[in-house]
């Protein structure tokens, strides 16, 4: 029997980068402490009253929701948590995601909003396949999710929007943006995106220093059901290929992911923030939400989809 590093019980989880085995109870304490430290280090909940947690039904955001629920009741009792879930209409996948979200929120007693893309917006993510955006469907889906998560959090009156982005997600983004040299994107890879625009909710990433595996362990330790399959549209995507490659680098250079993230946040980001100007936002002429140009990228996407449907019906 391998013993837990912190007590003598039977170890159940291996924290790879720290080469540490922990039992279930010590792992839960370690995980929640890490989130708490991240929240405090970056002042994520300073002055917050209403926090929306965007949950996909996957292990990361469900682990985030369960841990935030405990932290809020223990350490931030003045905060109200609300979960939002967007049903993307991906057959054989989205139904299961929504079911997990509803079950976990009901078990934990968390108020939740389910936003059904098909009935509310009139299309499903697979419909984007028939447009030129279909070649990079995950990218288009990302535009939809980012826009709706912000709009829903704003409509709910939240002052923070928490997402389940983890260390692996962030390192994958850094890898892509450093390779391309896209400094405007690199400067947006940060634990908190503060906003003073009333229609743009401040975004926080409390899991940014935790790995995908740690989130999976926490979900398992808390009895959260895991999705049996990942999104069928993302299969073979560049993002997944890059994550696999980063996993190989981590095996050769243990600590690589933590090192890249820390160098970015501590050394590069402060310099980029001084030199890369914040984009100036205007209002989208169609939906009134913040936008970089006359029409926001979400409304552009929806217009392209509508144009394609009109072409197909003539």
Tally of residues, the chain: 314
Nearer to ligand FES, 152 or 187 (CB): 152
Does 89 help bind ligand AMP (rule: CB under 6 A)? no
Nearer to ligand AMP, 142 or 247 (CB): 142
b/e per residue, 153-167, with b = 16+ CB within 10 A?
bbebebbbbbbbbbb
Q: Which stretch binds ligand AMP (CB under 6 A): 41-49, 54-62, 195-203, 212-220?
A: 54-62
Residue whose token pair is 């996407």: 301
Nearer to ligand AMP, 149 or 189 (CB): 149
Nearer to ligand AMP, 54 or 128 (CB): 54
Does 232 help bind ligand AMP (rule: CB under 6 A)? no
Q: Which stretch binds ligand AMP (CB under 6 A): 11-19, 20-28, 51-59, 129-137?
A: 51-59
Tokens of 230: 């990942």
The entry of Zn ion, ligand AMP, ligand FES, none that residue 299 binds, CB within 5 to 8 Å by partner kind = Zn ion
CB 106 within 8 A of CB 75: no
Does 239 help bind ligand FES (rule: CB under 6 A)? no
User: How far is residue 33 CA from its own chain's centroid?
Assistant: 20
CB atoms within 10 A of CB 311: 9
Task: Report which DSSP code applies to 265.
Answer: I
CA distance 190 to 209: 11
What are the two backbone dihedrals, phi and then psi, of residue 53, each rounded to the nearest 5 degrees? -110, 120
**Which residues touch 308 (CB under 8 Å, ≥6 apart)?**
130, 131
Residue whose token pair is 């634990």: 191
- Options 234, 249, 272, 276; binder of ligand FES; rule CB under 6 A: 234
Compute the least distance from the CB of residue 200 to Zn ion, in Å.
13
- Options 21, 44, 60, 209; binder of ligand AMP; rule CB under 6 A: 60
The entry of ligand AMP, Zn ion, ligand FES, none that residue 296 binds, CB within 5 to 8 Å by partner kind = Zn ion
Does 141 help bind ligand FES (rule: CB under 6 A)? yes
**Which residues touch 274 (CB under 8 Å, ≥6 apart)?**
none
**Contact pattern from residue 128 through residue 167 relative to ligand AMP, giving x for each residue in contact according to CB under 6 A and a dash for the rest:** --------------x--x---x-------------xxx--
The entry of ligand FES, Zn ion, ligand AMP, none that residue 186 binds, CB within 5 to 8 Å by partner kind = none
Residue 274, classed as helix, strand or coil, is: helix
Point out which residues bind Zn ion (CB under 5 A): 284, 286-287, 296, 299
Nearer to ligand AMP, 150 or 163 (CB): 163
CA dihedral 20, 25, 27, 30 (to 10 degrees): -110
Task: Note the residues at the interface with ligand FES (CB under 6 A).
Answer: 88, 125, 137-138, 141, 231, 233-234
């Amino acid at each position: 029997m391998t013993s837990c590093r912190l007590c003598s019980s039977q170890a159940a989880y291996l924290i790879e980068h720290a080469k540490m085995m922990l039992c279930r109870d010590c792992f839960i304490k370690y995980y929640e402490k890490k989130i708490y430290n991240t929240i405090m280090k970056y002042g994520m909940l300073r002055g917050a009253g209403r926090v929306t947690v965007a949950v996909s039904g996957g292990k990361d955001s469900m682990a985030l929701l369960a841990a935030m629920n405990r932290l809020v009741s223990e350490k931030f009792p003045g905060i109200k948590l609300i979960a939002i879930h967007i049903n993307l209409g991906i057959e054989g996948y989205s139904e299961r995601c929504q079911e997990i979200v509803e079950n976990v929120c009901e078990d934990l007693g968390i108020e939740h909003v389910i936003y059904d893309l098909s009935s509310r917006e009139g299309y499903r993510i697979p419909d984007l396949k028939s447009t030129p955006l279909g070649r990079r469907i995950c990218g288009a889906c990302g535009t939809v999710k980012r826009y709706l998560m912000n709009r829903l959090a704003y409509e709910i009156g939240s002052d923070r929007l928490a997402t389940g982005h983890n260390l692996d997600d962030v390192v994958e983004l850094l890898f892509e943006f450093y390779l391309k040299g896209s400094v405007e994107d690199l400067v947006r890879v940060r634990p908190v995106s503060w906003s003073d625009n009333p229609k743009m909710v401040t975004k926080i990433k409390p899991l940014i220093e935790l790995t995908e595996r740690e989130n999976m362990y926490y979900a398992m330790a808390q009895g959260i059901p895991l999705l049996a399959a990942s999104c069928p549209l993302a299969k073979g995507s560049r993002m997944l290929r890059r994550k696999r490659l980063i996993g190989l680098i981590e095996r050769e250079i243990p600590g690589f992911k933590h090192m890249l993230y820390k160098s970015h946040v501590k050394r590069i980001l402060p310099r980029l923030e001084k030199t890369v100007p914040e984009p100036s936002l205007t209002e989208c002429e169609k939906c009134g939400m913040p936008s970089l140009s006359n029409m926001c990228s979400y409304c552009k996407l929806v217009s392209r989809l509508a144009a394609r449907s009109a072409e197909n019906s003539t």
